[in-house]
Amino acid sequence: MLSIKNAIAGKIVEKIKLLNPDATMEISDITAMLEYPPDSKMGDLALPCFKMSKTLRMAPVKIAATIAEGFDAPCVARAEAVNGYFNIFLDGEALASKVVREVREKGDKYGAPTFGEGKTVVLDYSSPNLAKPFHIGHLGTTVIGHSLKMLHEFAGYKCIGINYVGDWGTQFGKLIVAYKKWGDRETVETGGVDALVDLYVKINNAVAEDSALADEARAEFCKMEAGDEENLALWKWLVEKSIKANDEIYKQLGITFDSYKGESCYTEGMPVQVQKLRDTGLLKIDDGASIVDLEQYGMPPCLILKRDGSSLYPTRDIAAAYDRKQTYDFDKAIYVTSAGQSLHFAQWFKVVELMGYDWYDKLVHVPYGTVSINGEKLATRTGNVILLRDLFALAIEKVAGIMEEKNPNLEGKEKIAEQIGVGAVVFYYLSNNRIRDINFVMEDALSFEGNTGPYVQYTYARTCSVLSKSGDYDKSAALTITAPEESELVKTLARFEEHVIDAIDSYEPMVITRYILDVAGAYNRFYHNCSILGAENEQIKNTRLALTEAAKTVLGNAFGLICLAKTEKV
């Protein structure tokens, strides 16, 4: 639709120039002004002319009437001026042919903008603290982050996904204490992450009872920082175990990372940044600690070094950002974390600016809300946290149960149950505005009828099934539009690229989940009201198959943007 909007806007600009040769109206200004009227009686596109009346010094009614006079543009059936609006009605068949042709030509690139070409984006997401349970709090950063990566890649950006694992800090001191007290190599080797979580929970409970243990943990961590070989070997092994366990989850989601450079990698890079802070006079000593005062920016001070000289989270982030700029020369660096860390990012972004790094304005923090779970008895042996793995397992188990009733002979049903179970969780999560707090209700997420992952995956499978039943069909035949549901579907498919742009601009994958629901809704209304394989004649049948194929491609492309598997059979 964007190309149509641009073509229409071009014609409108020509008309405006007739009205006022000095008008500095660009095509892109008009494209941005074009609206989708809420009621199709008012056209498929409309230009509210009052927005230009000030610049043109002319009444909106007059502007609309002048534009409407003898208006002609590709895919436009007719256009009229009504109350200062210029309303445009598209030619259903011309639009259908254009959309179908474009989808065929572009395939898995259909809907892709190109503004990212030649640019690089670094995305820091998932980034769990190792040695701690991978719980549902990480769902947001993992799926929002990956979706943003897919969206940017789709738009042509070169993307680097970084899992900035929290592989350094006192939590390792604690785990080492626990391991030395209660653990052994074999239990961890065979028990994997469960054994680590057990140790972690046990030590946390013990620390709560006996504060001497906390000192012991700190001491073990200090030994690590001082290069103690035994502890570092143990640390390395524990990190490997944790990463391997998290990999299972990434595999279920179809996520891979380009870099696992975590917090521990910046012990060497930090002193340079600290020195620069000192040289620029930004560093102040406050009660023994080193800070950057941010009072005049309305923020508490950014802590750089503790009293004992050890580094802090912001210091590591500054060193890591500097390293990423050197390594990747990014045009944008995106950080996806819970909204609880918004202040941390605002602070160190400010410090980077004060340090004089000219890339400070390329840093973007994308926050999201909290997740809670209602009505589900998930294992809480980890205290109050719910493991992401257990949430996925429950969803998969429930889907497998539903499928056993619906379609017990389905080939490869285990894999499909996994794709739908995981997809249900992801889709439910990404259906909400990212900043809102979410209460997860499994029954709602898994329903095949609501606005859910299973519903849209089922719709995708429906398009596949129609096409496999039809076999080959004549793709060269002209399309004929005979039902309103066909037009509605075409118009929905035509708007994909605009939604992709909107999702990227607002760092909001929800735009894509909502769009997927629009496409699924339009396709299902079309499917129920228009007979496809039993259509009245060949031309109508070919048209409907072509629309089905286009819907399949668009759904598939959009699924790829939000970690949703393309299920051909359900």
Q: Compute how many other C-beta atoms are within 10 angstroms of the C-beta atom of residue 11.
A: 18
Q: In angstroms, what is the minimal distance from the CB of 129 to ligand ARG?
A: 5
For 350, what's the count of Cα atoms within 13 Å in the CB-facing half-sphere? 20
Amino acid at 412: G
Number of helices and strands in the chain (H, E) = 21, 12
Q: Does 454 bind ligand ARG (CB under 6 A)?
A: no
Measured CA to CA, the distance from residue 253 to residue 155 in angstroms comes to 21
Nearer to ligand ARG, 338 or 482 (CB): 338
Q: Which stretch binds ligand ARG (CB under 6 A): 122-130, 196-204, 282-290, 404-412?
A: 122-130
DSSP 8-state symbol, 479: P
The residue among 141 and 457 lying less far from ligand ARG, judged by its C-beta, is 141
The stretch among 120-128, 486-494, 531-539, 546-554 that binds ligand ARG (CB under 6 A) is 120-128
Supply the minimum distance, in Å, between the C-beta of residue 91 and ligand ARG.
50
Shortest Å distance, C-beta 344 to ligand ARG: 7
CA distance 357 to 316: 16
Please report how close the Cβ of residue 336 comes to ligand ARG at its closest, in angstroms: 8
Binding of ligand ARG by 124 (CB under 6 A): yes
- Segment 323-362, which members bind ligand ARG (CB under 6 A)? 335, 337
Enumerate residues 6+ apart whose C-beta is below 8 A from 271: none
Single out the segment in contact with ligand ARG by CB under 6 A; choices: 60-68, 91-99, 125-133, 271-279: 125-133
Nearer to ligand ARG, 123 or 425 (CB): 123
Nearer to ligand ARG, 241 or 365 (CB): 365
Q: Write the DSSP string, 368-399.
A: E--EEE-S-----TTTT--BHHHHHHHHHHHH
- The residue behind tokens 């895919």 is 75
CB 167 within 8 A of CB 157: no
3-state secondary structure of 439: strand
Residues between 36 and 75 that touch ligand ARG (CB under 6 A): none
Residue 253: CA count within 13 A, CB half-sphere: 29
Q: Cβ closer to ligand ARG: 45 or 144?
A: 144
166 binds ligand ARG (CB under 6 A): yes
Count the Cβ atoms, other than its own, within 10 Å of residue 103. 24
Q: Is 127 in the site for ligand ARG (CB under 6 A)?
A: yes
Three-state DSSP state, 456: helix
Among residues 44, 220, 317, 508, the one that binds ligand ARG under rule CB under 6 A: 317
Residue 167 contacts ligand ARG per CB under 6 A: no
Q: Is 564 helix (H, G, I), strand (E, B) or coil?
A: coil
Separation of alpha carbons 193 and 513, rounded Å: 32
Using CB atoms, what's the residue nearest to ligand ARG? 166
- Based on the shown chain and the rule CB under 6 A, indicate whether residue 164 belongs to the binding site for ligand ARG: yes
Q: What's phi and psi for 429, nearest 5 deg?
A: -60, -45
Q: Shortest Cβ distance from residue 423 to ligand ARG (Å)?
A: 25
Q: What's the distance, Cα to Cα, between the start and end of the chain in Å? A: 32
Q: Which of 31, 66, 87, 129 binds ligand ARG (CB under 6 A)?
A: 129
Size of the site for ligand ARG (CB under 6 A): 9
Which residues within the stretch 4-33 sit at the binding site for ligand ARG (CB under 6 A)? none
Residues β-bridged to residue 86: 47, 81
Comparison of 47 and 136: residue with beta carbon closer to ligand ARG: 136
Measured CA to CA, the distance from residue 147 to residue 142 in angstroms comes to: 9
Closer to ligand ARG by CB, 1 or 320: give it: 320
Q: Report the interface residues with ligand ARG, using CB under 6 A.
A: 124, 127-129, 164, 166, 317, 335, 337
